[in-house]
Amino acid sequence: MGRFTLNRLLWVIPVMLGVILIVFTIDRFSPGDPVAAELGAGYTQEQYDAKKAELGLDKPFFVQLFNYVSKIITKGDLGNSYHTGLSVTASIAERFPVTLKLAIIAIVIAVGLGVPFGVISSTRQYSVADHAVTTFSLIFAAMPGFWLALMMIICFSIQLKLFPASGYKQWNCWVLPTLSAGLSFVATITRMTRSSMLDVVRQDFITTARAKGVNEGTVIRKHALRNALIPIITTIGFQFGILISGSVIVETIFNMPGMGSLMMTAINNKDYPVIEGCVLVLAFFICIINLITDLAYGIADPRIMAQYTKGKKAKMKEAVK
Amino acid sequence: MKKLLAIALSLSIFLGLAACGSSGSGSSDSGSSQASSATGGDSTEPETLRVGTLDTTDTFDPCSNSGCGLGLMMVYDTVLKLNYDTMEVEPCIASAWNWVDDKTLELTIRDDVTFSNGDKLTPEDVLYSLSRFVYENDQFDPGYDNINYDESTIDGNQLTLVLNDVDAEFLNALSNDRWASVVDEEYVKANPDAWWDAPIGSGPYTCVENVDGSHSTYAVREDYWGDKPDAENVIINNYSESTTMIADFQNGDLDIVLDTPETDYLAAQNGDYGDGVQTKLFKTWDLLAVCLPSYTECFQDINVRKAISLALDTKAITNAVYGSLGQTADSILIDGCDFYSSIGVHDYDPDQAKELLKEAGYENGLDLKVVIPSTTTNDKCAEIVQAYLAKVGINLSIESYDFATAIPILMANGTDISIFGTGGGTYTAASITDTLGENCSNSGARISDSTFNGYLNAARTTLDEETRLDNYTKAAQWDFDNYWTLPISYAQAVDLYQSNISGVTGLVARAIDLTSVVIN
């Protein structure tokens, strides 16, 4: 298990290097000029050249890339923002917790509603409850995120005055953003849970468990749901990645200083160090989420855990048998 | 093993959430003040002024701040100060001034001013603050590179500034509410990286916290040398979405919202945002214009320029772009700026425009391209201009890019027509015409004609007000007769504030003087 985890963590290094290369290249060759963005509409060629040199953009592409990578490796330094002059590492350190918290609460909401809905829907197929759950989840899946967020502000903030429309320091500031981010994913998790459960509940071992007189709740919880978890975990891991990297709309509408709004501003300003730093950090966390997802497979399915814990030779032997 | 892993995962999630939570709750009270009033919890203390803006606060370095400047105006004092009601320059850090001759200005610096760290403000600090624009940041010059720093002298409290050239608007430059900010030389040199969160100024407030992309908070200085502002604390919340800002205003979580869209202005006037909500209109000091660059070959023919002018219904365009906040432009100088005089509005006559195009040899029409930095105003204006020009046979293709992409194209003569706001948001005739004259680095708006620039230079280099008025009027009339820059609109911007707020004043809607605001 430890070896598996270590192995996966080591794979993060080449992935990160690949991400750096891709993002760095796309940034440098995409339209738009960060020097012009900094100088504004009126500048002379001398001012332009001086600014370009100051930002280090006068050097050849590979020199810029080498400098960037070596700074990250030797000092853990993601550079300074062209626009604000602030350390990118410090900016991300300030903003990432907001995005992470938003994503975690949103995914908890999505899982907390999606999995029970899916279970209800599958165990009472074609019943009123099944139709109600499916309709409810599809409504939220069909709503564009920004529209749902705005409707929530109008309803719960302006009309009912229950929750604030912005902010991030008190608990009640998080209710609307996390709900609007989480509810969109309820449908996906519900549908995945439903279809996965329907596959499992028709299998012989479930019938056997029922024939043996096992309580129906235990049959569903311990036998059916557990065996249906693998695709659900995959979906949750995938959705969590989307929440971490795609929180810009929720952050913008609810005025939360997270990574999404930082990236949007950076993209508008062609602020290369911030864009690259954000993408790098997000890619790292996506790798970690994938690792956690893989480890969660092991918890859900003892057979997978056995594969993690056994050595390579044992696995080979097992495969031969 | 399974249980251990499950516990470890749960623990890591819990710790992660706890860490996220502590990062927020440990600092300022801006979020809590917003939340509390929306939920009916603890109300914010009455002396706290809460302001919403769609701008950023940015750095407190006057040389490189690209935000709204609200923070600078609270933390720093300026050399001189503009009276927003009379538009006259008044004393501030300099208690008096005297022109020794056209190029020599004597300033008497107050000797009772201290910075928030206790350091005494000196004439050396004033000179250093101005010189930073030349020696430390040469990207932008508010007029301070005209100072001969070698010949300028300090004698006690007397600071004598010697100018290289006569500059009629030098006093205005010294009263600029962000660039003329006086910084503490000793502190800046010792703490070159403290601009973001620990700025030291002599202004009425100190910055308590500056969270990029979220908010900044300020506390009044008890030892401030001047009149103490009414609000003990100020919170400036930075929004990226106006709907959220207005929602907070409607909930009573904000006292003032700056530079709101026209729809909110109309809604507030209709009483949709509650009883007693007040509105205040400010000039934007921007001129929306269609500029016909001299490098576009067809514009060498005055008939083509005139045809384009006749093809555009400026009143209708103004109404479509700005609605009730717009005013049809009648000069290249902005209504309200010094030395403005109404020149006139070009007629709208598409039939005559077609005739002129025919005379110029374009009876089969003309294909032109406009490149614009994408903003709501620019995009809207370009589309309407495109529709009007199509009526006279001119096919205008629009290329709208983000700012960083559009600017290099514009600088490289990559647009046939320019559509943008000139004027730079400043109120002086010289600043406005700087964006059109021969020194303008934007070739799409530059008028290179020697007669036009002769008028501008004559106006700029004399202190005689009559001569200046005469020359600015001649320059505006010359442009009216020659159709290089076609003024379309002047715009206004609006601030909304709650019924218990008074004293809202300032030069522009996005950067009002928060030190004068009174909470009743």
Same domain? B154 vs B300: no
Predicted confidence band at A178 (pLDDT cuts at 50, 70, 90)?
very high
Report the residue of chain B nearest A154, measured CA to CA. B247
B441 falls within a domain: yes
The structure tokens listed for B350 are 């598409």
Amino acid A315: pLDDT: 59
- Residue B114 corresponds to which amino acid? T
User: pLDDT at residue B254 above 90?
Assistant: yes
Amino acid A261: pLDDT: 85
Residues 6+ apart with CB under 8 A from B60: B71, B72, B75, B76, B195, B196, B199, B201, B207, B210
Average pLDDT of the residues in B293-318: 95
Phi, psi of A18 (to 5 degrees): -65, -40
Helix (H, G, I), strand (E, B) or coil at A285: helix
DSSP string, B184-240: -HHHHHH-TT-TTT----SSSEEEEEEETTTEEEEEE-TT-SSPPPS-SEEEEEE-S
B210 to chain A: which residues are within 8 Å by CB? none
Same domain? B87 vs B151: yes
Interchain pair A165, B244: CB under 8 A: yes
Same domain? B217 vs B143: no
Interchain pair A98, B241: CB under 8 A: no
User: pLDDT at residue B24 above 50?
Assistant: no
User: pLDDT at residue A156 above 80?
Assistant: yes
Q: Give B58 to chain A, closest Cα distance, Å.
A: 7
Same domain? B477 vs B344: yes
B101 falls within a domain: yes
B71 falls within a domain: no
B68 falls within a domain: no
B408 to chain A: which residues are within 8 Å by CB? 33, 36
Question: What is the DSSP code (8-state) at residue A154?
Answer: I
Domain boundary among the residues B189, B213, B244 is at: B189
Sign of CA dihedral A104, A110, A113, A117: negative
List the one residue out of B134, B141, B133, B120 whose CA is nearest residue B184: B120
Residues 6+ apart with CB under 8 A from A28: A61, A64, A272
The structure tokens listed for B443 are 């070739």
Q: What is the pLDDT of residues A246-267, one digit of tens each?
A: 888 899 899 999 998 899 888 8
Q: Which residues of B7-34 are buried (b: 16+ CB within 10 A; e: fewer)?
A: eeeeeeeeeebeebeebbeebbbbbbbb
Least confident of A2-11, A269-278, B134-143, B304-313: B134-143
Run of H or E residues at B253: none
Report the residue of chain A nearest B20, measured CA to CA. A97
What pTM, to 2 d.p., does this model score?
0.84
- Residue A122 corresponds to which amino acid? S
| Chain B, window 6-35: residues with a beta carbon less than 8 angstroms from a chain A beta carbon | 6, 9, 13, 16-17, 19-21, 23-25, 27-32, 34-35
Question: Which domain range does residue B142 map to?
Answer: 77-189
Interchain pair B31, A168: CB under 8 A: yes
Which residues lie across from B489 on neighbouring strands? B288, B328
Q: What is the pLDDT of residues B278-290, one digit of tens each?
A: 999 998 888 899 9
B118 touches chain A (CB under 8 A): no
d(CA B395, CA A155): 46
User: pLDDT at residue B224 above 70?
Assistant: yes
d(CA A304, CA A296): 10
Neighbours of B112 (CB within 10 A): 9
Amino acid B39: pLDDT: 38
List the one residue out of B336, B457, B312, B432 whose CA is nearest residue B384: B312
User: pLDDT at residue B34 above 50?
Assistant: no
Domain boundary among the residues B189, B218, B250 is at: B189
**Could you tell me the CATH number of the domain that includes residue B393?**
3.10.105.10
Q: Give A217 to chain B, closest Cα distance, Å.
A: 22
User: pLDDT at residue B16 above 50?
Assistant: no
Same domain? B327 vs B442: yes
Residues 6+ apart with CB under 8 A from B238: A255, B53, B54, B55, B56, B57, B213, B214, B215, B216
Phi, psi of B113 (to 5 degrees): -105, 130
Same domain? B82 vs B179: yes
Amino acid A312: pLDDT: 57
User: pLDDT at residue B416 above 50?
Assistant: yes
B198 falls within a domain: no
Q: Give B10 to chain A, closest Cα distance, Å.
A: 12
The structural domain count of chain B equals: 3
Sign of CA dihedral B70, B75, B80, B83: positive
User: pLDDT at residue A3 above 80?
Assistant: no
In terms of Cβ atoms closer than 10 Å to its own Cβ (0-12, 13-18, 19+), residue B454 is middle
Distances (CA, A) of A312 to A166, A295, A300, A304, B271: 52, 17, 21, 13, 74
Q: What is the pLDDT of residues B478-488, one digit of tens each?
A: 999 999 999 99
The structure tokens listed for A187 are 């449908």
B141 falls within a domain: yes
B242 touches chain A (CB under 8 A): no
The number of C-alpha atoms within 13 Å of B292 and in the hemisphere containing its C-beta is 23
The structure tokens listed for B37 are 């009033």
ipTM: 0.81
Predicted confidence band at B45 (pLDDT cuts at 50, 70, 90)?
low
Question: What is the DSSP code (8-state) at residue B44?
Answer: P
The structure tokens listed for A47 are 């001012």
Of B16, B211, B244, the CB nearest to A153: B244
Domain boundary among the residues B148, B167, B189 is at: B189
Same domain? B288 vs B392: yes
Of B28, B34, B442, the CB nearest to A42: B442
Same domain? B339 vs B208: no
Same domain? B335 vs B469: yes
Contact B416, B366 (CB under 8 A): no
Sign of CA dihedral A246, A251, A257, A261: positive
Distances (CA, A) of B232 to B52, B198, B258, B517: 17, 19, 20, 11
Q: What is the pLDDT of residues B503-513, one digit of tens each?
A: 999 988 888 99
Q: Where are the alpha helices (DSSP H) in B233-292?
A: 242-250, 262-269
Same domain? B421 vs B301: yes
Of B28, B40, B59, the CB nearest to A85: B59
How many residues make up chain A in this entry? 321
Same domain? B140 vs B184: yes
B293 falls within a domain: yes
Contact A157, A173 (CB under 8 A): no
Same domain? B149 vs B178: yes
Which candidate in B7, B12, B245, B403 is best for mutational testing of the A interface (most A CBs within 10 A)? B403
B217 falls within a domain: yes
Q: What is the pLDDT of residues A82-113, one digit of tens each?
A: 888 889 999 999 999 999 999 999 999 999 99
Mean pLDDT of chain A: 87
The number of C-alpha atoms within 13 Å of B208 and in the hemisphere containing its C-beta is 16
C-alpha angle B231-B237-B239 in degrees, rounded to nearest 5: 150
**Could you tell me the CATH number of the domain that includes residue B113?**
3.40.190.10
